[in-house]
Structure 1
Amino acid sequence: MAKEKLFEVKDLRISAYNDEKVEIPIVKGVTFDIHEGEVVALIGESGSGKTTISLAALAYTKPGLHFTGGEVLLRGKDVLTMAPLEQRALRGANVAYLAQSAAATFNPAITIGEQVTESAVLHGVLNQAEATKRAEALYHALELPDPNRIGYRYPHQVSGGQLQRLMAAMALCGKPDLMVLDEPTTALDVTTQIEVLKAFKKVIKEENAAAIYVTHDLAVVAQIADYIVVLYSGEIMEQGPVEQIINHPSHAYTKRLMDAVRPTPTAGMGVQVGDEHDRDVPAIEMEHLTAGYGGIVDGEPIATILRDVSVKVENGHVVGVIGESGCGKSTMARVMAGLLPQAKGHVRLEGKELNGSLNDRKLDELQKVQFVFQMADTALNPKQVIGDIIGRPLEFYHGIKGKKKHAKVAEILEMVELPAEFASRYPMELSGGQKQRINMARSLAANPEVMLCDEVTSALDSIVGANVIKLLTALRDKTGVSFVFISHDLSTVGSFADEIVVLYAGRVVEQGPTDEVLSPPYHPYTRLLISSVPELRIGWLEDTMQKREMAAGIARGVEITKIGCPFFNRCPMAIENTCDVKDAPIRELKDGHQIACHLSIDQLNESEANTQQILHGYEKIGKDKPLETG
């Protein structure tokens, strides 16, 4: 029996006016349908109109935009022609919106339960008692910990992945007809992303909910969508069932998006670096470093984040630092930059000891270590033109002024592949990818020895992110600058870094050349990360969640421990009364590859061989029994 058509977009047109009051079309005649219980994905790179179209479901446009034509029908009624009070009643009750950032969505001063139930009660869909009961049922369905009490907590008392699922509970509490999910997993690490996707898919199916899923990640779309609409510059390039678009795409642009999908991390991805920039001492190194927050008690921070970490970055090399949210990646960069003094250990720049605080560092030491922040939107001053933003470090560190400064700004813009006329623009006039290039150009203007890149591609679409990596590679080859590239995306790190450091709960569990780290034997946590990178294959999520290490690794949270291996509670191969009470020994492999694990190299190799054998047999016999890996 055919499902009822719930939502229709017919020839939707949205425009804006430029400074000369000339109308510029943004969305150019888009048409698609959504049936009950169906998830329709809108995909395309930044600026393709995905969010603009999805917001039309709430009869809303961003400031500066206006509807110029078409219809948006919810159960046959055009939401664009409704009276303002009707539109207001629609939002949250009939159409619920899930934003990209859960942290920005929740009020830190109000309990989770109050916020999850607020919309349902406000719109009169449920009374408070009914809403609370439904919220608790949704906490169970979304597999949240302590579902009967989590509503009494505050947003800061739960993890990022849990907050993302609580945002889904907030949207579903009022039983809306349609959910709009706007990049809900883009900024999450791979293991948290799987956890959230699994929960979303389960609850959408159980609730028979319909959804618009906005994303640029085709591998994610393959796991959750029933139907795909491919957008470019406000127009539909191609649309159809997920199986057709993923396996038999017809448009060149869809194929281009597929080429930009992150590959599964494997040996052979690693970058070979020449020795033309080599020196006798590392560009920067950390030795037996312990750091954290909240003051020092008995030589230890009150909240210890990094414990006994040693990392070297050779000149002209890229060291990728990977791990889940909260593992200490950004804390490591902050210590290197002098933003956070260490409690113990050493930081050396070109062999010379650095003071822990940037206030005590010399000007040339500050100039040689530059930080590129994750969010260009908040890192760039919106009231300064690009020329002043890039020109400030030229003047501060090198005393370059006047015409020489303008010429140097143009040269640096060219270096990041942007035209010189961008110097007179403001950040708001640039796209996300362009702003990220300006963010990097500002650091380059200091002429640094080391650039600390903190998740600089996590909020960018696949195509723009790939272009940024290409740019960074060219800069390294040309200038010899070293990079510490922090990311939760193992595929991006694998394609750019020549060495990888795997952090877990503030400790280095594995490090070495990229090809060695991505080849068996792996640390059990590295294997979990590699297994968690979505593949462009329908059914991958279900297959993956049946592996034993995924079930163990995804289900439990990160615990920072003082003794034993911190991965003990999530490891499918953990040894009782050993892994939980003794620090893991460092296993030395070839070419400087190290694994911190109580299991011997032979045991790790044997475990990997067993996994591959079972996986191979599983593929041969079909999908009629769950996986169990040893």
Structure 2
Amino acid sequence: MTQLIRVEDLRVVAGDPGSEVEIVKGVSFALEKGEVLALIGESGSGKTTIALALLGYARRGCRLSGGVVQVGEHDMLALSEKELQGLRGNRVSYIAQSAAAAFNPAKKLLDQVVEGPLIHGLGTRAELEAKAIGLFRDLALPNPERIGRRYPHQVSGGQLQRVMAAMALISDPLLVVLDEPTTALDVTTQIDVLRAFKRVVRERGATAVYVSHDLAVVAQMADQIVVLNGGQILEQSATAPLLKAPAHDYTRSLLAAARPDTRIRPPCGIAEEGPLLTITGLTAGYGNKNLHGMPAIRVLEDIDLTVRRGQAIGVIGESGSGKSTLARVVAGLLTPALGGLTFDGQPLGGSLSERTPEQFRRIQMVFQNADTALNPMHSVATILSRPLKMYFGLKGAALQARIGELLDLVRLPRDMADRRPNELSGGQKQRVNLARALAAKPDLILCDEVTSALDTVVGAAILELLRDLRQQLGVSYLFISHDISTVRALCDDIVVMYSGHKVHAGRRESFAEAPYHPYTDLLIHSVPELRQGWLETCGATSGELPPIGERANLPELCTFLNRCPMRIDGLCNRTAPNRRTLDNGSEILCHRDAADLLVTQRGVTPTSFGAYA
């Protein structure tokens, strides 16, 4: 094989001249043609900074101060900006974490895919459009001949991520840099995208650098792994031996954090008391209402749910399942069309204006993205002081003392009170986000994907903090996530939602082994495992899933009908299922009984499959 990428003693500094700080400290590695190398580490480890250096690029406030970055015959650190522009999007391509932010919303997808190679003179428009359609097909995009005519907002997140991959690969680059390309995706979508990436990279013999904080994902993609911390390489090895016997303690900590079912100790010593929040027959959605008061787009249908005092309930499902809409209804940010809510035995109004100040205080929400939830112009002290002043009228020394107590609660140093959000790490910002909710002394906290944007180590620390705060304060959680392993590690009960319906609910213990609702089975087998080869076999228990169709949204049929590998023709496509209780106490919305589910989910095809008379 031929060495294609060579990085020697790479150094990057940040800050103003005279006060620069070295953030990448003498990093060296090499990559053969056709190999995939992973850069892995926590936020701030330097992995994205190193990946961008492969394009000869440094972010604002940073400078490539020394070393060698050789891509093919090109010394990226010795080239002028004009020469680098001729290589970027041509010989070196980049796939960003957020496809939604990378596309122009005013241009069609195909126009954006062929724009770069047209600028670089790599072919005629007709030739490049034909090549793009071929890539769409290779990347398993639906309707490859027509999807390019759509605008970015007209395709799903997973489809947009694959279109970005086509944009990166269309120039047949020497090197493709993939920067956390699946972090923001649902676990089921992530599998499709990873499979498409891996197949195309292998088939085309592309050389790639994959940036990630998730070792389980990296295990499916990389030939070798570079472990980074503090801008330095701590360990470098082929993938298999590193996963089996990591040499460095830090690598072992990453491996431990990647096993979510074991990284959090089960809650103990917490007595669940009477009902705190009760939801009955809830239907909600968006858009203009008809004469019967029903919204044009129904997102939630007939939801029943009870949260007891001191209890943590996890709500899981893919994007569009309705889980965040459920949180918005409980928070008073969306008025339900049907159904009722009761909080601590009293009616809970559908909007904030219908709630008492005390109800408003006792239900707080922690949002997914702390970057947008925290005012960048305010200090941490100012952010925390607002609820303390509003709810309790604190001021002066009492206010400052309580701010210090809140920082202690979320395990942040008290001197961080004077910092602004842009001076904090992602995990620190999420702790401030949580401290603001705790300032109100709530009884119920709505946690909406609070760890999904964090790396595995920081996310594990936030989950541990939530567990300890629950034990210390007796607070209840409605914990929303798309990752069943995260929910299973923290919560007592789990509710699985699909297309606005509650399809499975039960105690955490009942999710440890089959039987499950077919959709729950899909979610469980979509969480990457820490072993090579998992990606090629992970669909074995769920089967091939057809695309979601309009029929699945008809209320008189099963909501999961068109994606279910266990559907019974003649029954599932004619009659809506009733709720049934399994032997383990779980409740599912399915025509299948426990015996059928159990046999199928253990890998044996039952004789009852096929047409239903």
Q: Same fold (TM over 0.5)?
A: yes
| Residue pairs, 1:473-622, within 5 angstroms | 473-545=467-539, 547=540, 549-552=542-545, 559-589=552-582, 592-611=585-604
Number of the residue aligned with 1:271: 266
Change (3 A) 1:275 1:227: closer
Change (3 A) 1:410 1:569: same
Q: Identity across aligned pairs (percent)? A: 50
Number of the residue aligned with 2:125: 128
What one-letter code is carried by the residue in structure 2 that aligns with 1:364? Answer: E
190, 194, 200: which one aligns with 1:193? 190
Change (3 A) 1:484 1:211: same
| Residue pairs, 1:312-331, within 5 angstroms | 312-331=306-325
Q: Is 1:468 matched with 2:465?
A: no
What one-letter code is carried by the residue in structure 2 that aligns with 1:561? Answer: L
Q: Which moved more, 1:168-177 or 1:478-487?
A: 168-177
| Residue pairs, 1:40-439, within 5 angstroms | 40-263=37-260, 271-276=266-271, 278-280=272-274, 282-297=275-290, 298-439=292-433
What one-letter code is carried by the residue in structure 2 that aligns with 1:133? Answer: A
Work out whether residues 541 and 601 of structure 2, in 8 Å CA contact, stay in contact via their aligned partners in 1. no
What one-letter code is carried by the residue in structure 2 that aligns with 1:15? Answer: V
Question: Aligned equivalents of 1:176 and 1:296: distance in 2?
Answer: 51
Other structure's SS at 1:356 match = coil
- C-alpha offsets along residues 237-275 of structure 1, whole Å, 9 cap, x if unaligned? 111211221223212211111111135x69x98935545
What one-letter code is carried by the residue in structure 2 that aligns with 1:600? Answer: D
- C-alpha offsets along residues 114-167 of structure 1, whole Å, 9 cap, x if unaligned? 112211112222222122111100110000111110001111211111111111
Work out whether residues 511 and 517 of structure 1, in 8 Å CA contact, stay in contact via their aligned partners in 2. no
Question: Aligned equivalents of 1:182 and 1:557: distance in 2?
Answer: 32
Question: Aligned equivalents of 2:576 and 2:100: distance in 1?
Answer: 34
What one-letter code is carried by the residue in structure 2 that aligns with 1:369? Answer: I
Change (3 A) 1:269 1:505: farther
Q: Which moved more, 1:514-523 or 1:318-327?
A: 514-523
Number of the residue aligned with 1:626: none
Question: Aligned equivalents of 1:212 and 1:272: distance in 2?
Answer: 39
Work out whether residues 544 and 550 of structure 1, in 8 Å CA contact, stay in contact via their aligned partners in 2. no
The unaligned stretches of length 5 or more in structure 1 are 614-630
Number of the residue aligned with 1:14: 12
Other structure's SS at 2:51 match = helix
What one-letter code is carried by the residue in structure 2 that aligns with 1:289? Answer: L
Number of the residue aligned with 2:611: none
Change (3 A) 1:611 1:463: farther
Q: Which moved more, 1:413-422 or 1:113-122?
A: 113-122
Question: Aligned equivalents of 1:358 and 1:270: distance in 2?
Answer: 36
Question: Aligned equivalents of 1:314 and 1:550: distance in 2?
Answer: 37
- C-alpha offsets along residues 386-424 of structure 1, whole Å, 9 cap, x if unaligned? 000011111112211222111111100000000111110
Question: Aligned equivalents of 1:50 and 1:504: distance in 2?
Answer: 36
Question: Aligned equivalents of 1:87 and 1:608: distance in 2?
Answer: 53
Other structure's SS at 1:45 match = coil
Work out whether residues 264 and 460 of structure 2, in 8 Å CA contact, stay in contact via their aligned partners in 1. no
Work out whether residues 541 and 602 of structure 2, in 8 Å CA contact, stay in contact via their aligned partners in 1. no
Tell me the CA shift for residue 578 of structure 1.
1.9
The two structures have a TM-score, normalised by structure 2, of: 0.95
Number of the residue aligned with 2:610: none
Change (3 A) 1:177 1:275: closer
Other structure's SS at 2:417 match = helix
Tell me the CA shift for residue 586 of structure 1.
0.9
What one-letter code is carried by the residue in structure 1 that aligns with 2:491? Answer: A
Other structure's SS at 1:230 match = strand
Question: Aligned equivalents of 1:354 and 1:108: distance in 2?
Answer: 40
Other structure's SS at 1:168 match = helix
Question: Aligned equivalents of 1:44 and 1:460: distance in 2?
Answer: 12
Tell me the CA shift for residue 488 of structure 1.
0.7
Work out whether residues 287 and 347 of structure 1, in 8 Å CA contact, stay in contact via their aligned partners in 2. yes
Tell me the CA shift for residue 59 of structure 1.
1.1
Question: Aligned equivalents of 1:273 and 1:249: distance in 2?
Answer: 32
Work out whether residues 286 and 310 of structure 1, in 8 Å CA contact, stay in contact via their aligned partners in 2. yes
Tell me the CA shift for residue 562 of structure 1.
2.0
The two structures have a TM-score, normalised by structure 1, of: 0.93
Change (3 A) 1:124 1:413: same
Other structure's SS at 2:372 match = helix
Work out whether residues 564 and 578 of structure 1, in 8 Å CA contact, stay in contact via their aligned partners in 2. no
Other structure's SS at 2:454 match = coil
Other structure's SS at 2:220 match = helix
What one-letter code is carried by the residue in structure 2 that aligns with 1:429? Answer: E
